[in-house]
């Protein structure tokens, strides 16, 4: 694959103009109406990277291979054609015969380990591929009736390693090619795709791949941009912790804000942690709804807490008249501590515990 303009404005050495295609819109609520398997090609020599282990390179703290595996998490079986290594998700391993025989031989080796009627075929160097793009490819394949749905890059080129295919079509044409050429060694992928009826899906972001160090640098810069960093971080944490649950970041940020403003700053992270813990203890099948319900309860509590604090600071104080002795405690002295000397809610006897304390 050839690298294109890096999303977010960063440009790699081989950038091209933006595509004229209109991105495919997924009209289905259920993204995986049809079962599918996935084949990820993670071999190759990475010559332009000096022979480094490209699938293991980190972008946003996650290996490129793990990022791609996250995009095809809905697959029934995921086959990675490469030497075995630790991965964030369980996979089946396969190798082409002989080793280094090329991408078509690798695809054949991976395809032999799948059983679904649809197969998503991906390279392992796609830092911005997401489930939404995989969904669009599967929908385009289903709706078009074609043999395959391939991603088109900003330069108008087909990317056969970012595609969804009908498994029967691939097996049929691979068998013919093998018979015609006495094997698949050295055959390019275009010798296969030229025999297939294809439909196209445009996605300038997902088609960006990492072939050079400039591409790696552009990808690492893009995920730290303001509009992307939070989603990228949440995805990385979920992947690291093995969490499949969709996270409504807006909901949790609102809760953190309410807790910080209405209670104390350290209450923000502690409250969101407790919400997650409560959701995990919810009845099986609670899912995102359990998080939303726990967040709603915690937010309501923070609101009540803040309102109570506001009423206590009224002109007459909590007991009515200024400096009144609380009922039932005749010997108690009135609170005459100057307002500026009262500890912040984020303080205790050990000193200021606020994260921003200087």
311: pLDDT strictly greater than 80: no
- Residues 157, 4: Cα–Cα separation, whole Å: 10
Residue from 253, 344, 266, 249 nearest 299 by CA: 253
pLDDT for the residue 352: 39
* CB contact at 8 A, 64 and 71: no
Residue 19, pLDDT score: 33
For the chain, the first-to-last Cα distance in angstroms comes to 51
Q: Which residues contact 111 (CB under 8 A, 6 or more apart)?
A: 39, 79, 119, 167, 170, 171, 174
Query: pLDDT value at position 101?
Result: 87
Is there a contact between 64 and 57 (Cβ–Cβ < 8 Å)?
Answer: yes
What was the pLDDT predicted at 334? 41
What pTM does this model have? 0.67
Least reliable range by pLDDT among 84-93, 138-147, 191-200, 284-293: 284-293
Rounded CA-CA distance 57/41 in Å is 15
Q: What are phi and psi of 151, to 5 degrees?
A: -80, 140
**pLDDT category, 115, cuts 50, 70, 90?**
very high
Q: Residue 339 above 50 pLDDT?
A: no
- Residue 160 and residue 30: Cα distance in Å, rounded? 25
Closest CA to 116 of 153, 79, 91: 79
- Cα separation of 14 and 214, whole Å? 10
Q: Which residue has the higher pLDDT, 316 or 243?
A: 243
**If you search the block for the tokens 């630790």, which residue do you land on?**
86
For strands 62-63 and 36-41, give the pairing.
unpaired
For residue 17, pLDDT over 50 is answered with no
Question: How many other β-carbons are positioned within 10 Å of the β-carbon of residue 178?
Answer: 16
Instruction: Please name the residue ranges forming H helices in the chain.
Output: 64-71, 103-111, 131-144, 167-181, 190-193, 213-222, 229-241, 249-262, 267-281, 287-312
Kindly state the tokens that stand for 243: 């969490």
Paired residues of 122 in beta bridges: 40, 162
SS3 at position 223: coil
Structure-model confidence comparison of residues 312 and 158, the more confident one: 158
| Per-residue pLDDT band at 314 (split at 50, 70, 90) | low
Mean pLDDT, range 345-358, rounded to an integer = 38
Residue 76 has pLDDT above 90, yes or no: yes
Does the pLDDT value for residue 31 go beyond 60?
no
> Could you give the count of Cα atoms lying within 13 Å of 358 in the half-sphere of its Cβ?
0
């Amino acid at each position: 694959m050839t690298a294109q303009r890096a999303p977010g404005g960063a440009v790699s050495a081989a950038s091209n103009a933006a595509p004229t295609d209109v991105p495919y819109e997924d009209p289905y609520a259920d993204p995986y109406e049809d079962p599918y398997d996935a084949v990820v090609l993670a071999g190759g020599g990475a010559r332009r990277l000096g022979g480094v282990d490209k699938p293991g390179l980190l972008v946003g703290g996650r290996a490129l291979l793990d990022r791609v595996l996250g995009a095809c998490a809905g697959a029934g079986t995921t086959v990675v054609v490469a030497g075995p290594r630790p991965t964030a998700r369980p996979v089946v391993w396969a190798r082409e015969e002989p080793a280094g025989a090329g991408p078509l031989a690798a695809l054949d080796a991976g395809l032999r380990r799948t059983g679904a009627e649809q197969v998503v075929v991906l390279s392992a160097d796609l830092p911005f591929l997401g489930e939404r793009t995989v969904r669009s490819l599967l929908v385009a394949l289903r709706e078009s009736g074609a043999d395959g749905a391939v991603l088109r890059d900003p330069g108008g080129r087909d990317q056969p390693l970012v595609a969804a295919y009908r498994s029967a079509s691939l097996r049929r044409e691979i068998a013919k090619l093998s018979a015609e050429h006495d094997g698949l060694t050295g055959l390019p992928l275009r010798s296969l795709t030229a025999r297939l009826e294809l439909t196209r899906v445009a996605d300038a972001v997902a088609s960006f791949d990492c072939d050079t160090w400039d591409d790696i640098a552009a990808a690492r810069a893009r995920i730290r941009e303001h509009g992307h960093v939070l989603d990228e971080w949440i995805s990385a944490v979920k992947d690291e912790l093995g969490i499949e649950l969709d996270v409504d970041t807006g909901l949790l940020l609102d809760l953190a804000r309410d807790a910080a403003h209405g209670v104390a700053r350290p209450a923000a992270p502690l409250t969101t942690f407790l919400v997650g813990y409560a959701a995990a203890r919810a009845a099986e099948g609670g899912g995102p709804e359990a998080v939303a319900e726990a967040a709603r309860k915690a937010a309501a509590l923070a609101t009540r807490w803040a309102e109570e604090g506001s009423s206590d600071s009224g002109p007459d104080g909590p007991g009515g008249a200024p400096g009144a002795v609380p009922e039932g405690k005749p010997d108690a002295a009135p609170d005459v501590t100057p307002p500026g000397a009262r500890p912040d809610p984020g303080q205790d006897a050990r000193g200021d515990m606020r994260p921003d304390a200087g």
